[in-house]
Amino acid sequence: MNPLPEVAAGDDQEICVGAVVTLSGSGAATYDWNNSIDNNTAFEPVATADYVVTGTDAIGCSNTDTVTVTVNPLPMILAGSDLTVCAGQTLTFMASGAQAYEWNNEIENGVAFEATTSQTYIVTGTDVNGCESTDTLELTVNALPVPQLGSADTTVCTYDVPVTLNAGSGFTEYDWNNGATTQTITVSNAGTYEVTATDANGCEGSDEMILILDPCLGIEEQTAGLSVFPNPTNGLLNIQSTSTAPMQIEVTTLAGQQLLSTSETNVDLSGFASGVYFVHVRQGATEQLFRVEKH
């Protein structure tokens, strides 16, 4: 009596839906598999099943072996709902349905990032079985509105006030830092004016300007013979006059905020930040305004 061949179907396998396997029997000359598959030929299992191979040796003796192929389902990944946001908004994407996630576009699951441009975001989720699936989220980023108040620093003569500030048309809402809610405002005081405009998408953009009021006196209108030097200065400022009348000197910001008041003719600006300042000199019935640059 001839011994039966020692037929081996191979090790049990575990795969994900959509993967292919190749079953190869050994220990015989020919092999016949159930489930309509061929030995050593790749195929795509659709469900978990046992595969039985019958191996026949050269003298016609046969034996069988079984291998189990477990087919794991793909995870159901949810990237989240499509979003429409304003540029610069901070977002956090939180995918679900798996144990590990990898997003395109260099973002991380659960980590905040700043939305800058409209993009398609794809997340790949991997479950405990190593099976992967993807989902997509469409992000639309709307640009911020751009109100325009003009130059950042605007100087007008005091005899030209009031002045009208216009934030521009095409916005649905206006919010000024003085409480106004209209496209234009009329102002008479020096200071910083800021407006926040809201567009039809609900996005907000801001602009601001510093209104500077200048008496616009003009040197030719003065008779006091005043001079201020050096200008620009690194710190010490000298004020001279052809008159012997006492002087009162004030240093202000361009917005009109008083920083110093003195009767001394040597003014120390060394403690001031670099920039441009107004120096008001009053002597008797006359007044002179100087624009001084501090380095």
Which residue reads 């007044």 in tokens?
Answer: 287
Q: What is the pLDDT of residue 161?
A: 85
CA distance 212 to 153: 7
pLDDT above 70 (res 109): yes
Query: In which band, very low, low, confident or very high, does the pLDDT at 286 lie, cut at 50, 70 and 90?
Result: confident
- Would you state the pLDDT for residue 53? 97
On whether the CB atoms of residues 174 and 167 are closer than 8 A, the answer is yes
Residue 223 has a pLDDT of: 39
Nearest residue to 203 (alpha-carbon basis) of 251, 145, 257: 145
Superfamily of domain 83-142: Immunoglobulins (2.60.40.10)
Q: What is the mean pLDDT of residues 193-217?
A: 90
Q: What's the pLDDT at 205?
A: 97
Other C-beta atoms closer than 10 Å to the C-beta of 145 total: 23
* Predicted confidence (pLDDT) at residue 100 exceeds the cutoff of 70: yes
The confidence score (pLDDT) of residue 14 equals 97
* DSSP-assigned states of every residue in 41-83: --B---S-EEEEEEEE-TTS-EEEEEEEEEEEPPP--B----E
Residues of the chain above pLDDT 70, percent = 97
Cis peptide leading into residue 232 (ω within 30°):
yes
pLDDT for the residue 285: 77
Helix, coil or strand: residue 109: coil
Q: List pLDDT tens digits, range 115-138.
A: 999 999 999 999 999 999 999 999
- Does the pLDDT at position 219 exceed 60? no
- Structure confidence at residue 217 (pLDDT): 54
Do 112 and 171 touch, CB atoms closer than 8 A?
no
- Cα 258 to Cα 128, 141, 183, 254, 277: the distances in Å are 69, 44, 31, 10, 10
Span 219-294 CATH architecture: Sandwich (2.60)
pTM above 0.85, yes or no: no
215 contacts 281 by C-beta, under 8 angstroms = no
Rounded average pLDDT over 134-145: 98
For 64-86, write each residue's pLDDT tens digit.
Answer: 999 999 999 999 999 999 999 99
Contacts of 199 (CB under 8 A, 6+ apart): 142, 145, 170, 171, 172, 205
pLDDT bracket for residue 221 (50, 70, 90):
very low
Order the strands of the 191-198 sheet from edge to edge. Answer: 153-157, 204-214, 191-198, 173-176
How is residue 118 annotated by DSSP? -
pLDDT at 139 over 50: yes
Listed in sequence order, the residues at least 6 apart from 66 whose beta carbon sits closer than 8 Å to its beta carbon are 9, 50, 51, 52, 53
Average pLDDT over residues 11-20: 97
Instruction: Report the Cα 2 to chain-centroid distance in Å.
Output: 78
Domain boundaries along the sequence of the chain: 13-72, 83-142, 153-214, 219-294
Query: Any idea of the CA torsion for 278, 280, 281, 283, to the nearest 10 degrees?
Result: 170
Asked if domains 83-142 and 219-294 share a fold, the reply is yes
3-state DSSP helix/strand/coil percent for the chain, to nearest 5?
0, 50, 50
